[in-house]
Structure 1
């Protein structure tokens, strides 16, 4: 990122004295063999505008990627590439024998447990009930841990978060029921409770688990009809065949009775739309009917370009000058000579990234209509176009100013050469707005004083200057 300082002053430096905002710029060249060749000017007043230049990209209002809710094949593709859809519209249907089988098995396990009444199990000894409770708790803990590990492998951040939340909720509910069952077993062992009550509590805890599995498996089947999460233009992707290989491996390691539940948990989350996700699949053929898909693989992208804005990267050395409401002139590589206008709407608190030791921050700007060089309306930008934003961060009106070339560094301070009694004297100054041609001097210099504007590197304190 580069920083450009731009000034549109009320007057320009010329070879002769020019009146500027009530002050005078006087330009003269030193002569004589004993005096260095320099140019001097008289400090005057003008308007100085400081501009930070930042590379930017045109972005759409929103972009969402829709992923597959389960492994299977595309049974019906209801939209074409480039079609415009509305939120809630059916996009495709997936045929997934695996999801259907998981639902059937979850229902079967729940029905089987519902028949395990306390009366049928009360003949079991206290020790056996305690062992059964401990084994169930250990298996559940292991299953939830492995389900959580599987969820961590979901590539989409939003889908991962949804899966982890579902697992945490199910685990909390199961833990509460299991605690009640453990307490009932302890009461039996202490002789203060009945064996039937202990068995009933244990069955209730396990039943809670199977009912959750049925509910989540049903959600996974329902999600096989994929709908648009938002309106916009459709871009079909090439589904990645390996998108969920890590998930499948993790799910395969779950203990019996929990694999279906974890798969349902993760499958129901995998089909959610993920805001801001990108990618175009594996580079194979785009989505079509009959094509196999895997759980979590991207199917299509929906882009809402009804309104566009700008995303700019501002260097860390300039970011403290950029705030909401700062105006900017914007140019596009695709439309040479056109100028668009924008306003900063947000500045991210954390850095967007670093490259070669340089840290940048993401800045969002609104993007208004532009004008061509001949005054005609400029074409509407498209998402992805490259741009440059000139952020007008500071404006100083009627400011005491000198040419930018007159300022040089002395240690960590700014300085100028002031001509006093025909000799150059070093003077430390404090600067305000800093433009490309002019800089504002806020301390250390008075209006009307003459400063050296060029050849500053050839001077020493006390050198004669005419």
Structure 2
């Protein structure tokens, strides 16, 4: 019947359900007990392991080899989107930008003029080779940026620039071939090649400048700063790998190589320290809205729907209960931490309190939790204790005691709680049923 649990209120209802009607069946069968079918509320709750998630998070890394020139924030600082957090000094990147600027200036000064006897095919090949090298270098630099927004923006820029150059290169190639066939003048080919060279030089400059601009690390989101990258080595790693904004937008990934650090050392990378391209310098975490990512087993996930309520228990806040609500259920599965197939359920996390009414502390992203998802509820339902229902000949059944004798009655089960089960048909409120020791009862057995 799935992984279910019951709130204390329904456990109390179970005590009332048995109440004065629960009785031993004599000295011969001390392990068999009777109870009465009653009407009460039955709720089905699915339990699932989970991890607390931030609204979003982004790790900022060095886009190129160099040194950490400035660190303008400290761990725990609240920063705004776009705020400058650190600056990387990369002489290599600055040098490539200067070379690209010189090449661009030279291409502009050339203005389409080539010396006599120029090898047009050779010029085209050299231009294509330079363009390919610039695009490859830009893609390599982009691949080492851990902030997905900045990485995606640079890659988009590279793709767009490459498409533009391919158009210009095709036009130049067609003009060169036309000259070679004797159907066009050399001036048209020189003009097309010059345009391709200028475009290549401009794009090489723009891409080099993008890398230099990325040396100034800016906060892509508002949030709290911590040094280095984000570690996902806990048991909640799979959930943390799916951090998502509660508003439905995809959150930046926490991926990237964390900066090396030693126990007892506060700063992973000191100002003036060397960094390599891709080294995580700091991470910004937006905790303005906390959520949960729960792993629900495939046997239970079809019962989970957006909008359902849940309660949450955290390992870090023993005795506290938090509220939550289901926001979405993933379509594709993931490997369950318990083995088998599971689906990620994303929830908005509310406030919590202790049993004595005190406010519970705000959790931190990555904390382990157990989510109790209330998937179904039946009010004023005909119900029996879960132990009263057993399987016989492929059907659910209960032992009903009529005129002092046990009679097996097939039943249709509805909402299934851990303690109580709704009976849709088969028995009525007020009837006596065996609620313990059903495997010890035989048809026709007498009961007082």
- TM-score normalized by the length of structure 1: 0.79
Residue pairs, 1:281-320, within 5 angstroms:
281-284=259-262, 286-320=268-302
Q: Does 1:464 align with 2:442?
A: no
User: CA distance change for structure 1 residues 424 and 11 in 2, over 3 Å: closer, same or farther?
Assistant: same
Match of 1:72 in 2: 66
- C-alpha distance in structure 2 between counterparts of 1:313 and 1:93, whole Å: 40
- Give the alignment partner of residue 113 of structure 1, picking from 107, 112, 117: 107
2:60 counterpart SS class: strand
- C-alpha distance in structure 2 between counterparts of 1:142 and 1:218, whole Å: 16
Match of 2:55 in 1: 61
Match of 1:179 in 2: 170
Contact 2:59 2:229 (C-alpha < 8 Å) held by counterparts = no
- C-alpha distance in structure 1 between counterparts of 2:30 and 2:323, whole Å: 46
Contact 2:260 2:268 (C-alpha < 8 Å) held by counterparts = no
Q: Does 1:392 align with 2:374?
A: yes
- C-alpha distance in structure 2 between counterparts of 1:132 and 1:278, whole Å: 41
1:336 counterpart SS class: coil
Match of 2:236 in 1: none
Deviation at 1:28, TM superposition (A): 4.4
Question: Which stretch of the first structure deviates more once superposed, 429-438 or 182-191?
Answer: 182-191
Contact 2:112 2:193 (C-alpha < 8 Å) held by counterparts = no
2:352 counterpart SS class: coil
Match of 2:38 in 1: 44
User: CA distance change for structure 1 residues 316 and 372 in 2, over 3 Å: closer, same or farther?
Assistant: same
Q: Does 1:85 align with 2:79?
A: yes
Contact 2:295 2:336 (C-alpha < 8 Å) held by counterparts = no
Contact 1:31 1:37 (C-alpha < 8 Å) held by counterparts = no
Q: Does 1:204 align with 2:195?
A: yes
Match of 1:234 in 2: 225
- C-alpha distance in structure 2 between counterparts of 1:358 and 1:151, whole Å: 37
Deviation at 1:150, TM superposition (A): 7.5
Match of 1:359 in 2: 341
Contact 1:238 1:287 (C-alpha < 8 Å) held by counterparts = no
Cα deviation, 1:390-443, whole Å, max 9, x if unaligned, reads 211111001111110011234654332344565544444332211121101123
User: CA distance change for structure 1 residues 101 and 301 in 2, over 3 Å: closer, same or farther?
Assistant: same
- C-alpha distance in structure 2 between counterparts of 1:15 and 1:53, whole Å: 25
- C-alpha distance in structure 2 between counterparts of 1:145 and 1:69, whole Å: 15
1:230 counterpart SS class: coil
Deviation at 1:136, TM superposition (A): 4.7
- C-alpha distance in structure 1 between counterparts of 2:393 and 2:166, whole Å: 66
- C-alpha distance in structure 2 between counterparts of 1:202 and 1:278, whole Å: 41
1:367 counterpart SS class: strand
1:101 counterpart SS class: helix
1:390 counterpart SS class: strand
Match of 1:383 in 2: 365
Contact 1:36 1:459 (C-alpha < 8 Å) held by counterparts = no
Deviation at 1:291, TM superposition (A): 0.5
User: CA distance change for structure 1 residues 138 and 416 in 2, over 3 Å: closer, same or farther?
Assistant: farther
- C-alpha distance in structure 2 between counterparts of 1:6 and 1:153, whole Å: 49
- C-alpha distance in structure 1 between counterparts of 2:133 and 2:257, whole Å: 34
User: CA distance change for structure 1 residues 157 and 379 in 2, over 3 Å: closer, same or farther?
Assistant: closer
Residue pairs, 1:240-251, within 5 angstroms:
none
1:210 counterpart SS class: helix
Deviation at 1:102, TM superposition (A): 0.4
User: CA distance change for structure 1 residues 99 and 149 in 2, over 3 Å: closer, same or farther?
Assistant: closer
Contact 1:238 1:283 (C-alpha < 8 Å) held by counterparts = no
2:411 counterpart SS class: strand
Deviation at 1:364, TM superposition (A): 2.5
Cα deviation, 1:318-343, whole Å, max 9, x if unaligned, reads 22222222112222223222222222
User: CA distance change for structure 1 residues 184 and 404 in 2, over 3 Å: closer, same or farther?
Assistant: same
- C-alpha distance in structure 1 between counterparts of 2:359 and 2:75, whole Å: 30
User: CA distance change for structure 1 residues 31 and 226 in 2, over 3 Å: closer, same or farther?
Assistant: closer
Q: Does 1:6 align with 2:21?
A: no
Structure 1, unaligned stretches of length 5 or more? 19-25, 240-272
- Give the alignment partner of residue 165 of structure 1, picking from 156, 162, 169: 156
Match of 1:258 in 2: none
Contact 1:238 1:286 (C-alpha < 8 Å) held by counterparts = no
User: CA distance change for structure 1 residues 136 and 100 in 2, over 3 Å: closer, same or farther?
Assistant: closer
